[in-house]
Amino acid sequence: MRVFLLGNGGRPGVVQAADELLPLLERRGEVVVVDLFQKADLSRHPAELALVLGGDGAILRAARQMAYQQVPTLGVNLGKLGFLAEINLDEVDEVLTCYQQGRCPLTSHLMFECELARPGNQPATFLGLNEVVIYGDPPLELIDIDLAIDGEPVSTFTGDGLILSTPIGSTAHSLSAGGPILRQELEAFVITPICAHTLTYRPLVDRADRRYQVTLHPGAAAAMLIVDGQERHPLRPGDLVTLRQAPVRFQLVRHPRRGYYHTLRDKLRWGAPPNYRHESRPK
């Protein structure tokens, strides 16, 4: 088995964890790339598995770094939440054994391409996994955003911004802005307004095989395009942002004994009952 060892080397404990895991990985196969700072061109090194150390942010970076040659990804949580990076460090050996024996679930997930077209410039395309956010810049200034789907005008959203999210991203920024939770394998995008300036705007779910086009309304203030919370690109009136499903899929190696709803309950406390206080009453 040929393995990438990737991660966020700036997070405490990641470099030490990589040193600890290297002997284990080398006993199981060949470690073809060790890159904790997203510098390597992974397209030059074929592999069967990417082991990613850190948190969910490290997985988002790794997915973009693998670009159009995605390999199954096993996330080891060294961060706070670990919704995608659900494996603990002391479980790596066990889960690798299950994976090599074909007993680990492998899920396939929608990725997106975000194209930024600016008059007089070549379009730039960004690959992502979680979401695209168009946000007012400077902050706290209302912006007007026009949305069209497959060329059909949808609405002009007025507020702090707009989120276009994949199902994996539905439990991230979109959820914080009041968006719905989508099962991660669905083929759909979620459109979630951020602090909309009217009560009639509600999140919208539509098919993934459509083209979503976003522009700033004429006369709108400047804005920022943010990809997966990590890449930032200034926007101005006249720019066209197009979101579409990517021709590649993100593949996630799951823990053999943890299902999706277990993760929702455990990580996000979804569906957990209130923690009632039991006070003694005077007799």
In the structure encoding, which two tokens stand for residue 246, read together?
Answer: 């990517």
More confident residue, 132 or 256: 132
Beta strands in 166-216 (DSSP E): 188-194, 204-207, 212-216
* Stretch 253-280: mean pLDDT: 79
Active site residue 56: yes
Q: What is the pLDDT of residue 80?
A: 76
Domain limits of the chain?
Answer: 2-105+254-268, 111-247
Confidence band, pLDDT 50/70/90 cuts, at residue 4: very high
Helices (H) and strands (E) in the chain, counts: 5, 16
Q: Coil, strand or helix: which one is 203?
A: coil
The DSSP code sequence of 116-142 is EE-TTS--EEEEESSEEEEEESSTT--
pLDDT in tens, 51-90: 999 999 999 999 999 999 999 999 999 977 778 988 999 9
- The chain-wide mean pLDDT, for the chain, equals 92
Confidence band, pLDDT 50/70/90 cuts, at residue 268: confident
In the structure encoding, which two tokens stand for residue 272, read together?
Answer: 């957990």
Q: What is the pLDDT of residue 280?
A: 56
Confidence band, pLDDT 50/70/90 cuts, at residue 269: confident
The pTM of the full predicted model, rounded to 2 decimals, is 0.91
Confidence band, pLDDT 50/70/90 cuts, at residue 119: very high
Domain formed by 2-105+254-268, architecture = 3-Layer(aba) Sandwich (3.40)
**Which one of 193-197, 241-245, 272-276 scores highest in mean pLDDT?**
241-245
| Beta bridge mates, 188 | 207
Q: Coil, strand or helix: which one is 5?
A: strand
Terminal CA-to-CA distance of the chain, rounded, Å?
A: 69
* Stretch 189-193: mean pLDDT: 98
* Stretch 45-55: mean pLDDT: 95
Q: What is the pLDDT of residue 282?
A: 57
pLDDT in tens, 108-117: 999 999 999 9
Strand-strand pairing, 30-35 and 2-7: parallel
In the structure encoding, which two tokens stand for residue 56, read together?
Answer: 């969910």
The residue from 35, 56, 160, 228 that is catalytic is 56
Q: What is the pLDDT of residue 219?
A: 80
**How many C-beta neighbours within 10 Å does residue 234 have?**
12
Class of domain 111-247: mainly beta
Q: Which residue has the tokens 């394998």?
A: 185
Longest CA–CA separation in the chain, Å: 80
Lowest mean pLDDT segment, chosen from 12-26, 29-43, 156-170, 215-229: 215-229
Confidence band, pLDDT 50/70/90 cuts, at residue 194: very high
